[in-house]
Structure 1
Amino acid sequence: MKHSVETIHIYHTNDIHSHFDSWPQISKYLISQKQKHAEMHETSFRFDIGDHVDRFHPFTEGTSGKGNVALLNQAEYDAITIGNNEGITLSKKALNELYIGADFDVVLCNLNDSDRFTPKWINRYKIYDSEQGIRIGVIGATAMYEQFYSQLGWVITEPRSELIKVAREIRGEVDIIICLSHMGIHEDRLLAEESETIDVILGAHTHHLFTEGEMVDETLLAATGKFGEYVGHVEILFDNQAEKVVGKKASVIHVQQLPTDEEDRNEVHKLMVAGYEAMDEKVFYNHTALRQELFGPSALATFFGAALLAYTETDCAMFNAGIFLGNLEAGWVTKRHLHALLPHPINPCIITLDGAELQEVYALSTTPNWPETEIKGLGFRGTIMGSMMYEALYLNEEGELIAGGRIVRPGKTFTLATLDMFTFGYFFPLLKDAPKEYVMPELIRDIVAWYGKKLAMDSMGYLDGNE
């Protein structure tokens, strides 16, 4: 017999970013809550709202993200959407293969193949039935990094309009619509204002936390911050007789409130070890130890600058010393070493600048307080900026800026290789709109790997030619 009012329980996570320290507690909690609700003949779902994958962690890097999918399977998630870390830090091939073997649905309405074909692993929406026959429609979208997706061979479309379109499309088939949104708090609020059909928006991307949710018109917004610090719980009350939602509320559970034991800590350690073992492959032999210096020139920075210049074939290069999280020791360099040195999901970028623009960028890069500046986000996984490093870019004795052996003057064109995080407008506003080409899917550690191999091959060729 149907109860007049049924409660739908939704548990959600977002922006875990491969921070697995609390994952065993989260997983056990989700499974126990699922079992509890099942015993009480209540309906419950588990959703992740993207950026579960982050290549800074050895387990994620070593398994190309498939380890993350296995963890989501173990925790018995029902559906997820992807974040920008899944979407643009993995190659197209890796993303197409990521969810093979997933026991959950991937819900995403604004990403297609370059020929506008929707890949088999993507569902534009999913409809689930509750214990009492209530139909719950789940839709999802991810943030629009158009140039990044385009260079990887994807077509990404404006998420809010796509979500509104899909919500209207399924409204007649469902009783409740839940949106998995990896768009950010501002976009979520706009979506809630623009759509009259979405009941709940589970948010992500901007790492915002709603301890009790936020109502925008008739839509409930919920989000759990970042790094698995919280698990969200949304309750939707649906009146079967009136055939409408009559109540909804959101709360969060701090993972410190969840029980933990030695077994959990061992599980976290096993993930790290598994990642290390998967990255023990030798890449190249390094004959001389390369030391880092956070606030000045170093052998490591010189090596990286040369690698960046050689790979991009640009006039000059600029990057910050804070990207190096250690030294590159002499001996065999493995994937594990390179990942520890440069864990950031950061791509190189080639920017075309007028001489006057390059002069402005160079002048801004010498801002005195920048080396001590803490950086959070933008793909950076270090702590502080460090000094700005330059390759083939310097001031001569007359105080003239030289790039690629030429005096930098207005009216002349130059190409600059730098890090993608400097192109988002936070540090160098001019670079945001400058003509650019992102080097993808190669991350900066891939450039070091390529250059190390190149030097080894060049050395062998030189020796062979003199035998």
Structure 2
Amino acid sequence: MKEQIRILHINDLHSHFEAYPKIKRFFDEQSKTDKEVLKCDLGDNVDKSHPLTDATAGKANVALMNDLGIDFATVGNNEGIGLAKSEINQLYEKADFQVVLGNLTDRNGRPAWAEPYVIYETEAGTKIAFLAYTFPYYKTYQPNGWQVHDAIASLKRDLTLPEVKKADFRILLSHLGIRLDEKIARDVPEVDLIIGAHTHHVFEEGEVIKGTYLAAAGRYGDHVGQIDLTFKDRVLTDMAIEAVSVSDLDAEKGDADFAAELFQEGERQLAEDLVCKLSRKPTQKECAEMVMEAMLKSADADVTIINSGLVVEPFEQTVTKASLHQSLPHQMRLVKFQVTKAELLDICRDIFSQANLLAHQQIRGMGFRGRQFGKIMTNGFTYKNAKIVYNDKATGKKDKVSLVLVDQYYFAPYFTSVNSLQGQLLFPDLLRQTVEKYLRGDL
């Protein structure tokens, strides 16, 4: 018996809802077919840089996923790490789709909101196993209360499960990135199709490695994926993979209004929460100094280094959660180090030697959601002529100094002196939540 299955998929939307109306129409149009249709989201749908995502802790994203008719979704690092554990444990309470995730546990076992795999039986009786794994950021999942496990080891384990072994076709919903996807295609022949995400890559017509098919649809909704599978007597006979550029899809009146209304609704909800009233509107430099003070107090640290570009807009005189979100939209937390004064000097030499190069660069990823890196600023010490002058009130005569940074410095590749250190990631608050507590007087 011949049957046809169509899979529609998106990934790494990062709360870029401006593409949503086109994606919705594409999903609806391509679902008008005799083919059996399944819809998937590959993770990183949620990003708190959007005010409505921040205001609802991602539940607005889930409502839109329901509206798209998503059947299966997996988790990206922006859900698993970008949300506090309590938030992701509530994220999918009203989901009309199944969350699949095979490499995340806590001390009680697998999260109640996810299944390690799903066996989907088509109308004609073909059994398709959906497996899913997220990139194992060991350093950040653990302090958020999770244990994230090696994805390939978890995949190989799950492929031995009787239900998965007996399936006619096995699909990996991967939030692992292109390199791991390619490795799986080379080394794990039991996987028939990998739908990829995380590294924002695009396979316009798919790829094939050693008989395993790969599909991927970019980021921010700039592409939408379509995969057409043909089976005869439960055996795959044909596959067509396409990543359709959303820019090629027709726009309609109201598309821009839709995205603007979601943004405005998020700002409206956040604006209802007053943080504080300042004596006057501060300058950007004064805001950056307040950010550093907040970081020092929150982390109970001696010294800090930041880049002024973290403050995207100076704080308003009347600070609400909405205005604070505009100023600090970043998806980043704090990281604390215990360093010798010699190590701090090495870090300063590393960072300040790149200061001019980075100052006007548009930094992307690693949680940064600003326009440019900006100038390097310090608190607790000054750095001049390749030497450190300490604020003795902060450091005294201690052999070691506690240093707090934003975690972007820890994970981004440009500061190797920081990358090599062992840091303590401070959960659950994002940077703006730390600053909010400081402005409220709660630190």
Compute the TM-score of the two structures, normalised by the length of structure 1.
Answer: 0.90
Please give the residue correspondences for 1:60-75 in structure 2 after superposition, counting only pairs within 5 Å: 60-75=53-68
Q: Residue 7 of structure 1 aligns with which residue?
A: 4
> What is the aligned partner in structure 2 of residue 256 from structure 1?
247
Q: 1:126 and 1:257, CA in 2 relative to 1: closer, same or farther beyond 3 A? A: same
- Deviation digits for residues 364-388 of structure 1 (CA, Å, limit 9, x no counterpart): 2212322122211111011221111
Contact 2:350 2:417 in 1 (8 A): no
| Residue of structure 2 in register with 1:430 after alignment | 417
1:255-309 CA distances to partner (integer Å, 9 max, x unpaired)? 12223222333322221122112102111222221111xxxxx111111111111
Whose Rg is larger? Answer: 1
SS at match of 2:432: helix
Structure 1 consecutive aligned stretches of length 4 or more whose deviation exceeds 6 Å:
406-409
CA distance, structure 1, for counterparts of residue 221 and residue 137 of structure 2: 24
Do the aligned partners of 2:72 and 2:97 also contact (CA within 8 Å) in 1?
yes
Question: 1:230-279 deviations in whole A, cap 9, x for unaligned?
Answer: 10111222221xx4222323111111222322233332222112211210
Do 2:13 and 2:45's aligned partners in 1 also have CA atoms closer than 8 Å? yes
The residue identity in structure 1 corresponding to 2:66 is N
1:355 maps onto 2:341 in alignment: yes
Partners of 1:398 and 1:186 lie apart in 2 by 40
Q: SS of the residue aligned with 2:259?
A: helix
Q: Aligned-pair RMSD on alpha carbons?
A: 2.0
Q: Deviations over 1:180-223 (max 9, x none)?
A: 10011011111111211111111111111111111111111111
2:378 to 390, 408, 411: 390
For 1:384, give the aligned amino acid.
Q
Deviations 1:68-87 (A, max 9, x none): 00000001011000100001
Q: Which residue of 2 aligns with 1:108?
A: 101
Separation of aligned partners in 2, 1:372 and 1:430? 22
Q: Distance in 1 between matches of 2:376 and 2:127?
A: 56
Render the CA deviation track for 1:404-451: whole Å, top value 9, x for unaligned. 557899x93221110101002512112223121111110110111111
Comparing 103-112 with 425-434, greater Cα deviation is found at 425-434
Q: What is the SS of the residue equivalent to 2:217?
A: coil
Is the Cα–Cα contact under 8 Å of residues 359 and 408 in structure 1 kept in the other structure? no
For 1:451 and 1:79, the matched residues in 2 are separated by: 40
Compare 95-104 and 163-172 and name the one that shifted more: 163-172
SS of 1:86's equivalent in the other structure is helix
- 2:120 is matched with 128
CA contact (8 A) 1:168 1:197 kept: no
What amino acid is aligned across from residue 312 of structure 2 in structure 1?
L
The corresponding residue for 2:198 is 205
User: Which amino acid in structure 2 is aligned with residue 255 of structure 1?
Assistant: V
Counterpart for residue 290 of structure 1: 282
**Among 429, 432, 436, which residue is 1:442 paired with?**
429
Q: TM-score, normalised by structure 2?
A: 0.95
Amino acid at match of 2:292: G
For 1:101, what is the secondary structure of its paired residue?
A: coil
Structure 2: runs of 5+ lacking an equivalent = none
1:465 aligns to what? none
Shift of 1:175: 0.6
For residue 397 of structure 1, report the CA deviation from its aligned partner: 9.3
